Amino acid sequence: MITLSMWLSLAGAGAPAPSSLVELVAFERRESRAEQLASLKKGYDSANQAWEAKLAAEKDPAARAALQAQAPKAEWLPRFKDFVAADATDEQAFEALEWLVRNAEGAERAWSFERIEAHHLARPGLERTLAGLAPDRAPRTRTYLQTVLAKGGTELARGHACFTLAQQSQGYGAAARRYASFTEEERARWKKSVGEDFVALIESRPAAEFEAEAEQLFARCVKEFGTLDLRGEPLAKRAEAYLFELQNLSIGKLAPEIEAQDLSGVTFKLSDYRGKVVVLDFWGHW
């Protein structure tokens, strides 16, 4: 951290001095916050690595189960939250919130979303907070994605939010179809497993509506955000693959044409058997 005496020494050597004491105090505070956050991250990484090493070395199933319950994340989440609570508006708070979104769940993840929405929607790097959110079934996560799509300050963040929302909608459609096929007993077990909020969400609309929404969002990705980079390839390319699946491979869609030769060398088409029950057996050998 650069102190007042260090600034004076630098100024004596010809370096520009701070324009005011207020500027210097603000600079020192930023340095201090950065150091605190670096220490937090280092401390967690060290604790987590030690825990993972113990877990890998333990062979007894009961002892492993006990170790899994001792993951250091539970101890470190409140420390990161306290760091954010001290000042939720600065760059270091955003980095801590990014860590919390990646590592927290449920109410603590929702707590992080609220502070990002309040203070950081325009911040560069916002798209990093969206990584891995597609499988999250919590309705609050969906609300956060919708907020970033509508109000995110960068095109990259909005594009990532659009793609992640589309993935979620597709997943909700598949879950709604699966849930509709369950017996009452299976529904009760599943509700206990995934949570009542998620079940209420997929019961609120037909599966086809979720799938139509997914199709619209993927199409929007292609049209508005297609040139953006998503993990090394254009967003349009990723979205078009999902669109093809929704439009051609979903349950109830007409199967794509297949043309090949049977074991006797006779050419056939899948459409030749339209109206009949067809079993496709894909196999191979190496």
Q: Tell me what pLDDT residue 20 has.
A: 58
Give the model's confidence band at 25: pLDDT under 50 very low, under 70 low, under 90 confident, else very high.
low
User: Do residues 100 and 77 lie in contact, with contact meaning Cβ atoms separated by under 8 Å?
Assistant: yes
- Minimum mean pLDDT among 15-19, 33-37, 64-68, 198-202: which range? 15-19
Q: What is the spatial distance between Cα 217 and Cα 72, in angstroms, rounded to a whole number?
A: 38
Q: Tell me what pLDDT residue 133 has.
A: 95
- Measured over the CA atoms of residue 180, residue 185, residue 188 and residue 193, the dihedral's sign is negative
Q: What is the mean pLDDT of the chain?
A: 88
pTM for the whole thing?
Answer: 0.79
Question: Residues 6 or more apart from 52 whose CB is under 8 A from it?
Answer: none
Average pLDDT on 160-172 reads 96
* Predicted confidence (pLDDT) at residue 28 exceeds the cutoff of 80: no
Average pLDDT on 153-170 reads 96
Residue % of the chain over a pLDDT of 90: 67
pLDDT tens, 60-80? 999 999 999 999 999 999 999
For residue 235 the two structure tokens come to 């967003």
Tell me the CA distances in angstroms from 59 to 25, 53, 54, 72, 172, one per residue in order: 53, 12, 10, 20, 38
Q: Tell me what pLDDT residue 16 has.
A: 52
Burial class (CB in 10 A: 0-12, 13-18, 19+), 112: buried
- Minimum mean pLDDT among 23-27, 166-170, 262-266: which range? 23-27
Torsion of CA 80, 83, 85, 89, to 10 degrees: -110
pLDDT tens, 198-255? 899 889 999 999 999 999 999 999 999 999 998 889 999 999 999 999 888 877 777 7
User: Do residues 163 and 239 lie in contact, with contact meaning Cβ atoms separated by under 8 Å?
Assistant: yes
Give the model's confidence band at 94: pLDDT under 50 very low, under 70 low, under 90 confident, else very high.
very high
Question: Residues 6 or more apart from 18 whose CB is under 8 A from it?
Answer: 7, 24, 27
Q: What is the residue-wise DSSP string for 93-131?
A: HHHHHHHHHHH--HHHHHHHHHHHHHH-TTSTTGGGGGT
For residue 242 the two structure tokens come to 């999902």
pLDDT tens, 206-217? 999 999 999 999
For residue 33 the two structure tokens come to 């916050």
Tell me the CA distances in angstroms from 277 to 56, 270, 272, 273, one per residue in order: 49, 11, 12, 8
Q: What is the spatial distance between Cα 120 and Cα 30, in angstroms, rounded to a whole number?
A: 17
Q: Which of 57-61, 143-147, 263-267 has the highest mean pLDDT?
A: 143-147
